[in-house]
């Protein structure tokens, strides 16, 4: 099995990077081999994974300036293709077929990995489109607020275009509620809106929200994964549940 999952939402700060890292660690604990790809020039995932930043990264790969072998680094968080810092991506890829560069590059991997998880930037530019074109499916991290949901209207139009032009079979695995705080009394209305949005997109909301927890930030500061940093924490439990739900949906456990 090889699933390529893009974590995407053009809204910033909704927990994309945190979710990629948490789900990747969850999958590794179950014995799956993962490859992480940091498509965000901010390089947050590369940083928290302790990736060596002197080597070629995802943009060099897209521009065919690096081979897959040179771009993949070993990190404490598993194999990773890091962000290419200092390179502005937009406008660089102007050739015909520019949407397919990542998909093409990953074809060389064969069945080396069980899961490839892609961390997307907070925009719907060419880097995100490359991720959506290469992916078999997507997870949409959202915070439970109205503004976070508003972004999904625009996203659904991008999704439609990607399915029409570059990746017909792209699946939507679900909306993942992140940074959830039980102290915030969420109105029934917001929950209903999230469910309704999921329905409109033809998907579901993952049963377990990822709770807001200081240990998440601590793990990132220590550049380690949540299961190593705080194995008994709520956040570790939440990521374990979400990973299990994803695997169940994919029919692999
Ligand atoms: N469950 C959580 N508990 C506490 N803090 C969290 C949690 N999830 C995310 N954060 C924090 O929220 C901030 C944004 O999270 P993250 O970087 O994962 O979002 P993002 O969608 O990848 O952002 P960007 O759009 O900038 O790439 C970070 O500072 C992160 O540490
Ligand atoms: Mg991010």
Q: What residues make up the domain containing 98? A: 3-249
Region 84-97: what's the mean pLDDT? 71
Q: What is the pLDDT of residue 88?
A: 63
CATH number at residue 217: 3.40.50.300
The predicted-structure confidence for 169-206, as pLDDT tens digits, reads as follows: 999 999 999 998 876 666 667 778 888 999 999 999 99
Render pLDDT for 48-62 as a digit per residue (tens, 0 to 9).
999 987 889 999 999
Please count the structural domains in the chain. 1
Question: What pTM did the predictor assign?
Answer: 0.96
Q: How many residues does the chain have?
A: 253
Q: Is 225 exposed, middle or buried (0-12, 13-18, 19+ CB in 10 A)?
A: buried
The residues whose Cβ lies within 5 A of ligand 2, an ion, are 16-17, 44
In b/e form, how buried is each residue of 25-54, taking b as 16+ CB within 10 angstroms? bbbbbeebebbbbbbbbebbbbbbbebeee
Q: List ligand 1's pocket residues with C-beta within 6 A.
A: 12-18, 40, 42, 44, 122, 178-179, 210, 212-213, 216-217, 220, 235
Of the chain, the percentage scoring pLDDT greater than 70 comes to 94
- The pLDDT of residue 55 is 84
């Amino acid at each position: 099995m090889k699933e390529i999952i893009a974590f995407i939402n053009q809204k910033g700060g909704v927990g994309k990077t945190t979710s990629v890292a948490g789900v990747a660690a969850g999958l590794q604990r179950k014995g799956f081999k993962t490859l992480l790809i940091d498509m965000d020039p901010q390089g947050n995932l590369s940083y928290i994974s302790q990736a060596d930043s002197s080597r070629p990264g995802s943009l060099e790969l897209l521009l065919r300036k690096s081979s897959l072998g040179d771009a993949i680094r070993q990190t404490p968080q598993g194999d990773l293709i890091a962000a290419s810092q200092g390179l502005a991506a937009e406008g660089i890829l102007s050739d015909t077929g520019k949407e397919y560069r990542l998909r093409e590059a990953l074809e060389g991997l064969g069945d080396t990995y069980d899961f490839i998880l892609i961390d997307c930037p907070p925009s719907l530019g060419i880097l995100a489109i490359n991720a959506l074109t290469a992916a078999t499916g997507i997870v949409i991290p959202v915070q439970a607020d109205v503004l976070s949901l508003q972004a999904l209207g625009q996203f659904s139009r991008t999704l439609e275009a990607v399915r029409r032009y570059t990746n017909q079979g792209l699946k939507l695995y679900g909306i993942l509620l992140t940074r959830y705080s039980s102290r915030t009394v969420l109105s029934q209305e917001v929950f209903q809106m999230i469910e309704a949005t999921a329905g409109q997109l033809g998907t579901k909301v993952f049963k377990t929200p990822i709770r807001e927890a200081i240990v998440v930030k601590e793990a990132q500061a220590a550049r380690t994964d949540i299961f190593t940093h705080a194995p008994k924490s709520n956040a570790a439990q939440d990521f374990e549940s979400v990973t299990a739900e994803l695997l169940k949906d994919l029919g692999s456990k």
